[in-house]
Amino acid sequence: MRSAQEALTASRRAPLLSALGVLTIAFSLFAFGLFGLVAINIRRALEQVSERVEVRAFLSDSADIEQVAAAMKDIGEFPEVLRVDYVSQENALERARKEMGEFADVFEAGVLPASIEVHLRPGMRSPTIVKSVADRIKTYHFIDDVRYGEEWVEKLYRLRNIATVAGIALGVAFAAVAVIIIGATIRMMVLARAKEISIMRLVGATDMFIRLPFLIDGLVKGVLGGLVALLLVWITNRVVNQYFIETIFFNRELIFLGIVGGAAMGMFGSLVSVGRHLRRV
Amino acid sequence: MIRLTEVVKEYPRSGVALAHVSFAVRKGEFVYLTGPSGSGKSTILRLLYMDEKPTAGEVWINGVSSKSARGREISKLRRRIGIVFQDFRLLEDRTAEANVRFALEVTGAPKATIRSKVARVLTQVGLASKATSFPRELSGGEQQRVAIARALINDPFVLIADEPTGNLDERATRGVFQLLRDINASGTAVIMATHDLDLVRRSNYRTIELNHGRVVFDSAESPASARPFDEPFDIQETPTGPSESI
């Protein structure tokens, strides 16, 4: 209780420094948050594209409908498979006409073979897995041909890998910059009170008593900085949504994690900075 | 009450600061620590309030040994030691009264007693009328009195003063010195490091002189007349053993 009071008094005594501290934390986290926003949106876009990864097996004209049904059931039980759809000749024709409107009259019934469409589970869409599923489907004797856009799947997968690696590297860099800036800010705030700390030690305040107000101060500034950063990212997201492209915002868990992260950083920074001062008068 | 036994203090960069220093201070005693700059006076004081630990030997103070004392025990010990510095070390943004109160607050003293205790020590140092002044509004002597009040607030058994008159003019020096004598007269031991030979000469208190980290003279161990105070400390360049000084 007294520590909380001390923390509050300290902030009141140096309002400018406190505000500067909160703003520095806020902008460091804002930069990190913006990066995070870009990262989750790229991720979502790639996921949407990868949902279109599918294996299409064309049936021979002589295929027995019961055999096909049994095969579909088998294939549906593959661990990699999400869903199996049957596309009849009529459906295929209809779809082709819709997708290529200007050539609608070119297609005639019977030209397009019936097929089964195999959709894969998320995380099961890498080139090797797709190929292995396709190979297994090929073994049914009534399957004429299996297609899955080999080249396209590989390209998509490579793009995903690049995005992931770049995301992690940039994320670590941004986080490191935020930690360094926040650490320096807190160090500055502690330095401003170095004399106070040394006097507290001389008159016999325990280390815990000295530390606690700084921890609370760091915690409060971390949370405040986190909230300001969140607000800034949210505003940015709104603006982008309104004038440029549709984007998604962080979900509740990520927001919570961000604020807890800010608080932890504030507390940890204070702990380290004060610790250095406690070792000498 | 206070005992240093064969205390050695070495610093990694500057080398030996104290070499085999031994002496004891009795309850209620007044002791001057004298000697040129860098002779180890401040080091001894820092060892007494356990800001530092000796490299070898042992410091005993009020039943606490430098060999075993840890964080909490040291904090508790400091509450029974008053410490005063040449540069006062007051918080500029707080009044005299708040500076004194601070020492009680940060040790978790009960709130009810704080107000009366602060008023009492400010009266004791003669600053009752300046309780609401900020340090910059006070003279050097008055600031040092605030620092002394802060040191007295926890009823210390010993007051450790590192050049307390170093920044003061003669008049203020006399006032602060008289205050320290009064404090001593009421039973608190005083250990005072000083350059001020006039002060040392005028009073009849025990004097321990240091040079190059060694005790070169202790008036408790030799007749008071044996140590002529006519040579300034600063010219003594070579370390001298205790036997040579006596």
Same-domain pairing of A161 and A255: yes
**pLDDT at position B244:** 38
According to DSSP, the residues that pair with B23 across neighbouring strands are: B4
Q: How many helices (H) and strands (E) does chain A have?
A: 9, 4
Give the mean model confidence (pLDDT) for residues A68-84. Answer: 84
Residues 6+ away with beta carbon under 8 Å from A215: A3, A267, A270, A271, A274
Give the mean model confidence (pLDDT) for residues A159-170. Answer: 86
Which ranges in B56-110 belong to alpha helices (H)? 71-78, 96-105
pTM exceeds 0.90 for this model: no
Give the mean model confidence (pLDDT) for residues A251-261. Answer: 86
Do residue B78 and residue A202 have CB atoms under 8 angstroms apart? Answer: yes
Grouping H, G, I as helix, E, B as strand and the rest as coil, residue B52 is: coil
Identify the band that residue A184 occupies on the pLDDT scale cut at 50, 70 and 90: confident
**pLDDT at position B245:** 37
Q: Does B87 touch chain A (CB under 8 A)?
A: no
Q: Does B157 touch chain A (CB under 8 A)?
A: no
On whether residue A120 sits in a domain, the answer given is yes
Query: CA of B134, closest CA in chain A: separation in Å?
Result: 15
DSSP per-residue string spanning A228-274: HHHHHHHHHHHHHHHHS---PPP-HHHHHHHHHHHHHHHHHHHHHHH
Instruction: Name every chain A residue with its beta carbon within 8 A of the beta carbon of B75.
Output: 201, 204-207
Same-domain pairing of A181 and A266: yes
Give the mean model confidence (pLDDT) for residues A6-28. Answer: 80
Instruction: Name every chain A residue with its beta carbon within 8 A of the beta carbon of B53.
Output: none
Region of poorest pLDDT, from A13-22, A104-113, B17-26, B210-219: A104-113
Ordered per-residue pLDDT tens for chain B, 246 residues: 899 999 999 999 988 999 999 999 999 999 999 999 889 999 999 999 999 999 999 999 999 999 998 888 999 999 999 999 999 999 998 999 999 998 888 887 888 889 899 999 999 999 999 999 999 999 999 999 999 999 999 899 999 999 999 989 989 999 999 999 999 999 999 999 998 888 888 888 999 999 999 999 998 887 554 454 544 454 444 444 444 333
Instruction: Name every chain A residue with its beta carbon within 8 A of the beta carbon of B91.
Output: 195-196, 199
Q: Name which of B49, B75, B154 is nearest A206 (Cβ-Cβ).
A: B75
**pLDDT at position B211:** 93
Do residue B71 and residue A13 have CB atoms under 8 angstroms apart? Answer: no
Among A88, A114, A147, give the residue marking a domain's end. Answer: A147
Quote the number of domains for chain A.
Answer: 2
Q: Does A274 touch chain B (CB under 8 A)?
A: no
Do residue B89 and residue A195 have CB atoms under 8 angstroms apart? Answer: yes
On whether residue A175 sits in a domain, the answer given is yes
**pLDDT at position B132:** 94
Among A147, A172, A196, give the residue marking a domain's end. Answer: A147
Q: Compare all CA atoms of chain A with the CA of B103 and give the residue at the minimum distance.
A: A203
**pLDDT at position A12:** 72
**pLDDT at position B55:** 94
Same-domain pairing of A74 and A170: no
Mutate to test the interface with B, among A197, A206, A211 (most CBs of B within 10 A): A206
Classify the phi-psi angles of B126: left when phi > 0, otherwise alpha if psi is within -120 to 50, otherwise beta.
left
Same-domain pairing of A32 and A88: no
Q: What is the spatial distance between Cα B122 and Cα B116, in angstroms, rounded to a whole number? A: 10
Mean pLDDT over each residue of chain A, to the nearest integer: 83
- pLDDT tens digit sequence for A34-63: 888 888 888 888 888 887 788 888 888 877
Count of positions (residues) in chain A: 281
Do residue A195 and residue B51 have CB atoms under 8 angstroms apart? Answer: no
**pLDDT at position B236:** 43
**Dihedrals phi, psi of A39, to nearest 5 degrees:** -60, -45
Instruction: Name every chain A residue with its beta carbon within 8 A of the beta carbon of B106.
Output: 200, 203-205, 209-210
Q: Does B154 touch chain A (CB under 8 A)?
A: yes
Q: What is the spatial distance between Cα B119 and Cα A38, in angstroms, rounded to a whole number? A: 62
Give the mean model confidence (pLDDT) for residues A125-152. Answer: 84
**Dihedrals phi, psi of A22, to nearest 5 degrees:** -60, -45
Q: Taking the CB of residue A54, how many other CB atoms lie within 10 A of it?
A: 20
Q: Name which of A203, A210, A280 is nearest B103 (Cβ-Cβ).
A: A203
Mutate to test the interface with B, among A16, A203, A206 (most CBs of B within 10 A): A203
Same-domain pairing of A272 and A194: yes
Instruction: Name every chain B residue with its beta carbon within 8 A of the beta carbon of A281.
Output: 46, 51
Asked if pLDDT for residue A216 goes beyond 50, the answer is: yes
Q: Name which of B46, B108, B150 is nearest A209 (Cβ-Cβ).
A: B108
Same-domain pairing of A62 and A44: no
- pLDDT tens digit sequence for A198-211: 888 898 888 888 88
Among A105, A122, A147, give the residue marking a domain's end. Answer: A147
Asked if pLDDT for residue A162 goes beyond 70, the answer is: yes
**pLDDT at position A139:** 85
Percentage above 90 pLDDT, chain A = 4
Same-domain pairing of A269 and A178: yes
Same-domain pairing of A26 and A85: no
Domains and CATH numbers, chain B: 2-80+158-245 (3.40.50.300), 88-155 (no CATH)
Same-domain pairing of A70 and A92: yes
Region of poorest pLDDT, from A106-110, A215-219, B61-65: A106-110
Range(s) of the domain holding residue A230: 2-48+157-278
Query: CA of A237, closest CA in chain B: separation in Å?
Result: 44
Q: Are B119 and B137 in contact (CB under 8 A)?
A: no
Same-domain pairing of A89 and A143: yes
Residue A132 is part of a domain; what is its CATH number? 3.30.70.3040
**pLDDT at position B235:** 43
Same-domain pairing of A118 and A98: yes
Q: Compare all CA atoms of chain B with the CA of A199 and give the residue at the minimum distance.
A: B89
| ipTM of the modeled complex | 0.79
On whether residue A152 sits in a domain, the answer given is no
Q: Are B84 and B160 in contact (CB under 8 A)?
A: yes
Same-domain pairing of A106 and A139: yes
Count of positions (residues) in chain B: 246
Q: Does B171 touch chain A (CB under 8 A)?
A: no
Q: Does B221 touch chain A (CB under 8 A)?
A: no
**pLDDT at position B109:** 81
